[in-house]
Amino acid sequence: MLENPVLELIESTHMGNGSLWLLEMDGRELRLLLQVRVSGRCWSDEPGFGIPPHGEARFEGAGLKVEYLQANGKETTVKLAGSLAITDMEGNAKPSCGYQQLCVWNGEKRIFETGRPHKVDR
């Protein structure tokens, strides 16, 4: 897939939210392969998570989990996963839910294409 080393940068807040960056090192140059934000209000726009309009979501436990998957010689897929703790505006807990987002390598463009986050059974 890639000939050069890749840097993985995971930004994380005190609530386990953050971003994932993948950068290819080519000599003294860095080329962006993937930048995906996984935090706060971005979930309120996603259907199926049940986050109240003025509520919030954060990752429970260890926070965002990142896995690199490759099946049967196919291109690499980056899997972002975790369990979301959801609260309403008053701080009341709602049922938590599983979170998953896949980013698939596009060999022609030489970048990872970001899929939409979705709710999953845990």
In the predicted model, is pLDDT for residue 105 greater than 80?
A: yes
Q: Is residue 38 part of a domain?
A: yes
Band of pLDDT at residue 59, cut at 50, 70 and 90: confident
Structural domain range at position 40? 6-120
Give how far Cα 43 sits from Cα of 23, 38, 54, 89, Å.
25, 8, 12, 15
Q: Is 105 within the bounds of a domain? A: yes
What's the domain count of the chain?
1
Q: What is the share, in percent, of the chain residues with pLDDT greater than 90?
A: 30
Is residue 1 situated within a structural domain?
A: no
Most confident of 42-46, 50-54, 89-93: 89-93
Q: What is the pTM of this model?
A: 0.81
- 22 in any annotated domain: yes
